[in-house]
A and B are shown apart, each in its own frame.
Chain A
Protein backbone atom coordinates (compact mmCIF):
# COMPACT_ATOMS: atom_id res chain seq x y z
CA UNK A 1 0.00 0.00 0.00
CA UNK A 2 1.36 3.42 -0.92
CA UNK A 3 1.91 5.89 1.90
CA UNK A 4 -0.24 8.57 0.33
CA UNK A 5 -2.87 7.64 -2.21
CA UNK A 6 -4.92 9.79 -4.51
CA UNK A 7 -7.21 9.11 -7.41
CA UNK A 8 -5.19 10.39 -10.38
CA UNK A 9 -8.32 11.37 -12.31
CA UNK A 10 -8.60 13.29 -14.50
CA UNK A 11 -11.65 15.00 -13.14
CA UNK A 12 -13.24 16.79 -16.05
CA UNK A 13 -15.81 19.36 -14.89
CA UNK A 14 -17.60 22.38 -16.35
CA UNK A 15 -17.00 25.88 -15.08
CA UNK A 16 -19.01 26.59 -11.97
CA UNK A 17 -19.09 22.99 -10.82
CA UNK A 18 -18.17 21.76 -7.36
CA UNK A 19 -15.54 19.06 -7.23
CA UNK A 20 -14.02 17.12 -4.37
CA UNK A 21 -10.78 15.17 -4.06
CA UNK A 22 -9.82 12.70 -1.38
CA UNK A 23 -6.45 11.51 -0.23
CA UNK A 24 -5.66 8.66 2.15
CA UNK A 25 -2.47 8.17 4.12
CA UNK A 26 -1.10 5.10 5.82
CA UNK A 27 1.20 6.54 8.49
CA UNK A 28 -0.88 7.14 11.60
CA UNK A 29 1.99 9.21 13.07
CA UNK A 30 1.64 11.82 10.34
CA UNK A 31 1.56 15.26 11.84
CA UNK A 32 0.79 17.78 9.17
CA UNK A 33 -1.19 17.82 5.99
CA UNK A 34 -1.25 20.05 2.95
CA UNK A 35 -2.70 20.47 -0.49
CA UNK A 36 -0.33 21.72 -3.17
CA UNK A 37 -1.13 22.69 -6.70
CA UNK A 38 1.16 21.83 -9.59
CA UNK A 39 0.72 23.24 -13.05
CA UNK A 40 2.12 21.37 -16.02
CA UNK A 41 5.93 21.28 -15.98
CA UNK A 42 6.07 23.69 -13.05
CA UNK A 43 7.01 23.33 -9.40
CA UNK A 44 4.33 22.64 -6.77
CA UNK A 45 2.95 25.57 -4.83
CA UNK A 46 1.10 25.51 -1.55
CA UNK A 47 -2.65 25.78 -1.92
CA UNK A 48 -3.54 25.37 1.73
CA UNK A 49 -2.62 23.62 4.92
CA UNK A 50 -5.19 21.24 6.37
CA UNK A 51 -6.15 21.64 10.01
CA UNK A 52 -7.94 19.19 12.26
CA UNK A 53 -10.99 21.40 12.52
CA UNK A 54 -11.19 21.88 8.79
CA UNK A 55 -10.46 25.15 7.08
CA UNK A 56 -11.69 27.26 4.24
CA UNK A 57 -9.99 29.71 1.92
CA UNK A 58 -12.37 31.33 -0.50
CA UNK A 59 -13.72 28.65 -2.81
CA UNK A 60 -11.49 25.98 -1.30
CA UNK A 61 -12.33 23.88 1.74
CA UNK A 62 -10.02 21.31 3.26
CA UNK A 63 -10.88 18.71 5.85
CA UNK A 64 -8.94 16.14 7.84
CA UNK A 65 -10.25 12.91 9.28
CA UNK A 66 -7.53 11.43 11.49
CA UNK A 67 -9.58 8.42 12.51
CA UNK A 68 -10.02 7.33 8.91
CA UNK A 69 -6.70 8.79 7.81
CA UNK A 70 -7.89 10.84 4.91
CA UNK A 71 -7.96 14.45 3.88
CA UNK A 72 -10.21 16.11 1.36
CA UNK A 73 -10.29 19.18 -0.81
CA UNK A 74 -13.50 20.75 -2.04
CA UNK A 75 -13.47 23.34 -4.80
CA UNK A 76 -16.64 25.34 -5.33
CA UNK A 77 -17.56 27.37 -8.40
CA UNK A 78 -14.69 25.94 -10.45
CA UNK A 79 -12.79 28.32 -12.71
CA UNK A 80 -10.86 27.51 -15.86
CA UNK A 81 -7.74 28.60 -13.99
CA UNK A 82 -8.29 25.85 -11.42
CA UNK A 83 -7.15 23.32 -14.02
CA UNK A 84 -4.02 21.75 -12.55
CA UNK A 85 -2.80 18.75 -10.61
CA UNK A 86 -3.58 18.80 -6.91
CA UNK A 87 -1.05 17.09 -4.68
CA UNK A 88 -1.77 15.76 -1.24
CA UNK A 89 1.23 16.08 1.08
CA UNK A 90 1.67 14.46 4.47
CA UNK A 91 4.60 15.04 6.82
CA UNK A 92 5.89 12.82 9.59
CA UNK A 93 8.85 13.04 11.91
CA UNK A 94 11.93 11.02 11.06
CA UNK A 95 15.52 11.50 12.13
CA UNK A 96 14.99 15.04 13.30
CA UNK A 97 13.26 16.18 10.13
CA UNK A 98 9.64 16.29 9.09
CA UNK A 99 9.59 14.21 5.95
CA UNK A 100 7.04 15.18 3.33
CA UNK A 101 5.42 12.41 1.33
CA UNK A 102 3.50 13.28 -1.79
CA UNK A 103 0.56 11.61 -3.38
CA UNK A 104 0.75 11.18 -7.14
CA UNK A 105 -1.70 14.01 -7.61
CA UNK A 106 -5.23 14.38 -8.91
CA UNK A 107 -5.64 16.02 -12.28
CA UNK A 108 -8.46 18.55 -12.64
CA UNK A 109 -9.63 19.87 -15.98
CA UNK A 110 -12.20 22.64 -15.92
CA UNK A 111 -13.82 23.27 -19.29
CA UNK A 112 -16.05 26.11 -20.51
Chain B
Protein backbone atom coordinates (compact mmCIF):
# COMPACT_ATOMS: atom_id res chain seq x y z
CA UNK B 1 0.00 0.00 0.00
CA UNK B 2 0.92 3.62 -0.28
CA UNK B 3 3.07 5.14 2.41
CA UNK B 4 2.83 8.56 3.96
CA UNK B 5 5.57 9.53 6.35
CA UNK B 6 5.19 12.25 8.95
CA UNK B 7 8.00 13.76 10.95
CA UNK B 8 8.63 14.36 13.80
CA UNK B 9 6.39 11.86 15.55
CA UNK B 10 6.76 13.64 18.84
CA UNK B 11 7.93 17.11 19.71
CA UNK B 12 8.07 19.07 22.92
CA UNK B 13 8.75 22.76 22.72
CA UNK B 14 8.64 25.90 24.80
CA UNK B 15 5.84 28.39 24.49
CA UNK B 16 6.56 30.99 21.82
CA UNK B 17 8.64 28.79 19.56
CA UNK B 18 7.65 27.56 16.10
CA UNK B 19 7.42 23.93 15.14
CA UNK B 20 7.50 22.48 11.64
CA UNK B 21 5.88 19.15 10.81
CA UNK B 22 6.60 17.42 7.51
CA UNK B 23 4.32 15.11 5.60
CA UNK B 24 5.76 13.10 2.72
CA UNK B 25 4.15 10.70 0.32
CA UNK B 26 6.92 8.17 -0.23
CA UNK B 27 5.77 6.19 -3.20
CA UNK B 28 3.18 8.31 -4.93
CA UNK B 29 2.51 11.89 -5.91
CA UNK B 30 -0.19 13.65 -3.97
CA UNK B 31 -1.65 16.79 -5.47
CA UNK B 32 -3.78 17.20 -2.37
CA UNK B 33 -2.92 16.64 1.25
CA UNK B 34 -5.08 17.25 4.27
CA UNK B 35 -4.02 18.39 7.72
CA UNK B 36 -5.97 17.47 10.84
CA UNK B 37 -5.69 17.84 14.55
CA UNK B 38 -7.15 15.43 17.03
CA UNK B 39 -7.84 15.92 20.71
CA UNK B 40 -8.15 12.93 23.03
CA UNK B 41 -11.34 10.97 22.43
CA UNK B 42 -12.40 13.45 19.76
CA UNK B 43 -12.72 13.18 16.02
CA UNK B 44 -10.14 14.28 13.52
CA UNK B 45 -10.83 17.91 12.75
CA UNK B 46 -9.84 19.06 9.31
CA UNK B 47 -7.64 22.13 9.55
CA UNK B 48 -6.81 22.75 5.93
CA UNK B 49 -6.56 21.31 2.45
CA UNK B 50 -3.12 21.66 0.96
CA UNK B 51 -2.79 21.78 -2.81
CA UNK B 52 0.57 21.58 -4.52
CA UNK B 53 1.69 24.89 -5.91
CA UNK B 54 -1.16 26.94 -4.49
CA UNK B 55 -2.31 28.38 -1.20
CA UNK B 56 -3.89 26.08 1.31
CA UNK B 57 -7.62 26.26 1.94
CA UNK B 58 -8.28 26.66 5.64
CA UNK B 59 -11.37 25.51 7.49
CA UNK B 60 -13.41 28.03 9.34
CA UNK B 61 -11.90 28.94 12.67
CA UNK B 62 -8.36 27.87 11.76
CA UNK B 63 -5.90 30.76 11.78
CA UNK B 64 -3.83 30.65 8.63
CA UNK B 65 -1.16 32.89 10.13
CA UNK B 66 -0.88 30.54 13.07
CA UNK B 67 -0.78 27.33 11.10
CA UNK B 68 1.34 27.89 8.01
CA UNK B 69 1.00 25.26 5.34
CA UNK B 70 3.34 24.88 2.42
CA UNK B 71 2.93 22.29 -0.31
CA UNK B 72 6.02 22.89 -2.38
CA UNK B 73 6.14 19.59 -4.23
CA UNK B 74 3.92 16.67 -5.11
CA UNK B 75 5.42 14.63 -2.30
CA UNK B 76 5.87 17.11 0.52
CA UNK B 77 3.60 19.31 2.57
CA UNK B 78 4.64 21.08 5.75
CA UNK B 79 2.66 22.49 8.65
CA UNK B 80 4.35 25.11 10.80
CA UNK B 81 2.78 25.98 14.13
CA UNK B 82 4.00 29.49 14.75
CA UNK B 83 4.50 30.96 18.21
CA UNK B 84 3.14 27.83 19.79
CA UNK B 85 1.19 27.99 23.04
CA UNK B 86 0.05 25.24 25.39
CA UNK B 87 -3.42 25.21 23.82
CA UNK B 88 -1.78 24.18 20.54
CA UNK B 89 -0.74 20.91 22.15
CA UNK B 90 -2.46 18.21 20.15
CA UNK B 91 -2.05 15.31 17.77
CA UNK B 92 -1.52 16.60 14.24
CA UNK B 93 -1.96 14.21 11.37
CA UNK B 94 -1.75 14.51 7.62
CA UNK B 95 -3.31 12.46 4.86
CA UNK B 96 -2.90 12.22 1.13
CA UNK B 97 -4.83 10.64 -1.69
CA UNK B 98 -3.20 8.79 -4.57
CA UNK B 99 -5.97 9.82 -6.91
CA UNK B 100 -7.89 13.04 -7.22
CA UNK B 101 -11.28 11.41 -7.44
CA UNK B 102 -13.83 11.27 -4.66
CA UNK B 103 -13.43 7.54 -4.22
CA UNK B 104 -9.72 7.67 -3.53
CA UNK B 105 -8.41 6.09 -0.39
CA UNK B 106 -6.72 8.44 2.03
CA UNK B 107 -3.37 7.40 3.40
CA UNK B 108 -2.36 8.83 6.73
CA UNK B 109 0.93 9.79 8.22
CA UNK B 110 1.77 8.40 11.61
CA UNK B 111 0.87 11.66 13.28
CA UNK B 112 2.87 14.17 15.28
CA UNK B 113 2.19 14.69 18.93
CA UNK B 114 2.99 18.26 19.91
CA UNK B 115 3.39 19.28 23.51
CA UNK B 116 3.92 22.95 24.23
CA UNK B 117 5.22 23.73 27.68
Contact = CB atoms under 8 A, between A and B. Distances in A.
Interface of A: 4, 8, 31-32, 34, 41-46, 49, 87, 89, 91-93, 95-105
Contacts, number: 62
List the 5 closest A-B pairs by CB distance, nearest first: A104-B43, A43-B108, A98-B102, A31-B102, A102-B44
A100 B103 contact: no
Contacts of A4: 43
Contacts of A34: 105-106
Chain B interface, DSSP helix/strand/loop, else mixed: strand
A31 B93 CA distance: 23
Nearest to A93: B102
Contacts of A45: 108
Contacts of B41: 8
